[in-house]
């Protein structure tokens, strides 16, 4: 895994500049279609059969009806009719019907068969595409879950979400678009073969329209490639802005930024509208040109072919057949151009999806992970740990300390001193190379991250409540945690009372981020979630939010239940929590400034004493932010 720079992360969010028609990308996409290749093959057979019916319907009109039944022309006897004339007369004689009625029924039957075959083609192709993109979406989601925390520190979440939603949907249009193109090019080959048999001169005249359509298509491709990348980036910008402001709506409203945000969103929306309008303008121009081209080609056939009919060089039915087949010569090129709207929008989406899949920033895992015993002693040691976030200043400078098995360690210090970083390094959310962290004497870098994290119970200050039931949020849908175990955990942390007061108890569905719960209730629910997993080591970033006295007592009792008999690291903000811990570690400017019991540090009259006496203590006993230091 290569180290990422600011330029790398900027490139992840920025507009891509690769070739729009990327065959390597198409080949990779086919890899997800491979498990469904039988269905894809059936779809291709169906589109070939449907294309044959499209070509045969004009043959019924020109060769059977006009040249044989209405205006018999012996000179046209050598022209191909694919057995339709014999079929018409044979069926008419067998059923005692007029040949003209049979020809009409034959025409209707071919049209009906075309509709059925195209429907079957479409359904089989769509089925394959949906299954392949389902697999791709799952692979992308799994890839995003493997990305380390450092990845999400630097990329725009809205743009990542666009890859997993809009871009996947665009790839569906890419696959089905190729199916539509195949449905146009197969009739092109069949129609060309038929027209060359009728009149090489007239066919050559009509084919002059094809290079003109190709030139127009090439121009359209060059123009639209840039426009659709701009459209996609404008949509990502809209999604990102919307997400940020909806998540932070309370701050927006408190700051009175609604009008300013509307103006900023309006400008982003106007940029998207301008790009979309440009795309529509070019599409309309291109479409008008192609229809005019078909009209001119038809006029040439009527003029030149009409002269040949008068001179009895070709039959009237042949000329009518030509006019009906002109579309099949020009429309494949036109269809290709029309599909560029979809194809290039989808190509840009595909490039971004595979960019996310190929992003080589992942959690380092040991080649031969150490098998830890099922029951840990619980000793934690930081040894000369130094760390900086990507592209940031150093946060920890040679931090060393040891937590004895079963010990409760309170960690305090000003904002930015590195308290939360300790938690993240212990859980290996970030890789670090300078210094070592040990768990029962084993370097955590030698332990599989999944094995390490299942032994840790971590409650971050910004704990997350998911949409779903209360029970789902406690068990995290882990089948190993029974309903009874989840309820026991809730009872132990004093969450059972408020849960049973909810309308449907443990089956109550929670709003996004638990907005229908109070701050204290959400914290108790987070405690229950951790306790249900029976962690052997507890890491708790105590919340600083102001809560009522009754809830405060419930939370303090819950913390006592959580930490009982477990090695515990508590980033503490309340004096009562600190005093209940065995020792206190003071971080200052990323270094261990002091370490000892509460009474020892008070007696030492150092940094902890100063924070305690001058900066932190207020009437509520909560460690609040001071002018130069705080507990955040």
Domain ranges of the chain: 23-358, 379-455+536-544+567-625
Cβ 492 vs Cβ 525: under 8 Å: no
The residue assigned the tokens 């809730």 is 490
Pinpoint the alpha helices (H) of 99-154: 99-146, 149-154
pLDDT 10s digits, 143-152: 887 777 777 7
Q: Is the Cβ–Cβ distance between 513 and 564 less than 8 Å?
A: no
Q: Poorest-confidence range of 29-38, 60-69, 228-237?
A: 228-237
**Does position 611 have pLDDT exceeding 90, yes or no?**
no
Question: Worst-scoring range by mean pLDDT, 36-50, 94-108, 279-293?
Answer: 279-293
Identify whether the C-beta of residue 549 lies closer than 8 Å to the C-beta of residue 493: no
CA-to-CA dists, residue 549 to 520, 552, 555, 556, angstroms: 11, 5, 10, 10
CATH, domain range 23-358: 1.20.1560.10
- Under the banding of pLDDT at 50, 70 and 90, the label for residue 483 is very high
Q: Do domains 23-358 and 379-455+536-544+567-625 have the same CATH topology?
A: no
- pLDDT, position 544: 52
Q: What is the mean pLDDT of residues 609-616?
A: 71
Task: Read off the pTM.
Answer: 0.64
Residue with tokens 């006009």: 66
The strands making up 442-443's β-sheet, listed across from edge to edge, are 394-403, 380-388, 434-439, 442-443
E strands, 542-590, in order: 567-571, 583-588
Contact 344, 225 (CB under 8 A): yes
What pLDDT band is residue 191 in, cutting at 50, 70 and 90? Answer: confident
- Residue 69 is encoded by which pair of tokens? 């039944």
- Residue 282's pLDDT band, with cuts at 50, 70 and 90, is confident
The percentage of the chain sitting over the pLDDT mark of 90, rounded to a whole number, equals: 19
Query: Is beta strand 591-596 parallel, antiparallel or unpaired with respect to 394-403?
Result: unpaired
Sole residue written with tokens 């040109």 = 289
Mean of pLDDT over the chain? 82
Q: Tell me which CATH code domain 379-455+536-544+567-625 carries.
A: 3.40.50.300
Query: CB–CB of 407/582 below 8 Å?
Result: yes
Higher pLDDT, 306 or 58: 58
Tokens of 100: 């003209």
- For residues 586 and 218, the model is more confident at 586
The answer to whether the CB of 173 falls within 8 A of the CB of 259 is: no
């Amino acid at each position: 895994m290569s180290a990422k720079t600011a330029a790398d992360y900027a490139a992840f969010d920025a507009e891509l500049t690769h070739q729009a028609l990327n065959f390597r990308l198409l080949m990779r996409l086919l890899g997800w279609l491979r498990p469904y290749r039988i269905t894809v093959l059936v779809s291709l057979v169906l589109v070939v059969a449907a294309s044959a019916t499209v070509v045969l319907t004009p043959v019924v009109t020109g060769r059977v009806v006009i040249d044989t039944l209405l205006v018999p022309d012996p000179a046209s006897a050598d022209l191909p009719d694919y057995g339709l004339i014999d079929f018409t007369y044979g069926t008419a004689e067998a059923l005692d019907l007029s040949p003209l009625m049979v020809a009409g029924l034959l025409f209707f039957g071919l049209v009906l068969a075309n509709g059925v075959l195209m429907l079957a083609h479409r359904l089989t192709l769509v089925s394959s595409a949906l299954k392949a993109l389902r697999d791709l979406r799952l692979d992308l989601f799994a890839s995003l879950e493997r990305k380390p925390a450092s990845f999400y520190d630097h990329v725009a979440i809205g743009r990542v979400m666009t890859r997993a939603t809009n871009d996947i949907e665009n790839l569906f249009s890419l696959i089905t678009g190729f199916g539509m193109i195949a449905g146009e090019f197969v009739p092109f080959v069949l129609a060309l073969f038929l027209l060359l048999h009728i009149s090489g001169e007239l066919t050559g005249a009509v084919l002059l329209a094809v290079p003109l359509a190709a030139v127009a298509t090439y121009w359209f491709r060059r123009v639209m490639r840039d426009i659709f990348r701009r459209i996609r980036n404008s949509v990502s910008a809209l999604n990102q802005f919307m997400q940020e402001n909806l998540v932070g709506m309370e701050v927006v409203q408190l700051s009175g930024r609604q009008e300013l945000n509307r103006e900023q969103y309006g400008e982003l929306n106007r940029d998207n509208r301008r790009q979309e309008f440009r795309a529509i303008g070019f599409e309309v121009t291109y479409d008008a040109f192609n229809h005019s081209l078909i009209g001119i080609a038809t006029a040439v056939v009527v003029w030149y072919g009409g002269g040949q009919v008068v001179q009895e060089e070709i039959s009237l039915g042949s000329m009518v057949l030509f006019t009906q087949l002109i579309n099949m010569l020009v429309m494949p090129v036109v269809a290709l151009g029309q599909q560029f709207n979809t194809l290039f929008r989808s190509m840009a989406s595909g490039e971004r999806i595979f960019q996310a899949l190929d992003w080589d920033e992942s959690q380092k895992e040991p080649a031969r992970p150490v098998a830890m015993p099922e029951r840990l002693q619980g000793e934690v040691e930081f040894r000369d740990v130094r760390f900086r976030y990507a592209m940031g200043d150093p946060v920890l400078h040679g931090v060393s300390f040891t937590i004895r098995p079963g010990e409760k360690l309170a960690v305090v210090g000003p904002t930015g001193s590195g308290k939360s970083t300790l938690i993240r390094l212990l859980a290996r959310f970030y890789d670090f190379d300078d210094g070592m962290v040990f768990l029962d004497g084993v370097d955590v870098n030698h332990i599989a991250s999944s094995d390490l994290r299942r032994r840790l119970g971590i409650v971050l200050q910004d704990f997350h409540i998911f949409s779903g039931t209360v029970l789902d949020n406690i068990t995290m849908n882990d089948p190993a945690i029974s309903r009874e175990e989840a309820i026991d955990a809730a009872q132990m942390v004093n969450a059972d009372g408020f849960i049973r007061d909810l309308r449907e108890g443990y089956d109550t569905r929670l709003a996004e981020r638990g907005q229908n719960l109070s701050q204290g209730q959400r914290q108790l629910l987070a405690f229950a979630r951790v306790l249900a997993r029976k962690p052997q080591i507890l890491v708790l970033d105590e919340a600083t939010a102001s809560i009522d006295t009754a809830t405060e007592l419930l939370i303090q009792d819950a913390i006592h239940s959580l930490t009982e008999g477990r090695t515990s690291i508590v980033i503490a903000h309340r004096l009562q929590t600190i005093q209940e811990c065995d020792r206190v570690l003071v971080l200052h400017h990323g270094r261990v400034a002091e370490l000892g019991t509460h009474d020892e540090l008070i007696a030492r009259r150092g940094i902890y004493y100063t924070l305690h006496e001058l900066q932190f203590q207020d009437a509520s006993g909560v460690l609040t932010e001071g002018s130069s230091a705080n507990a955040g």
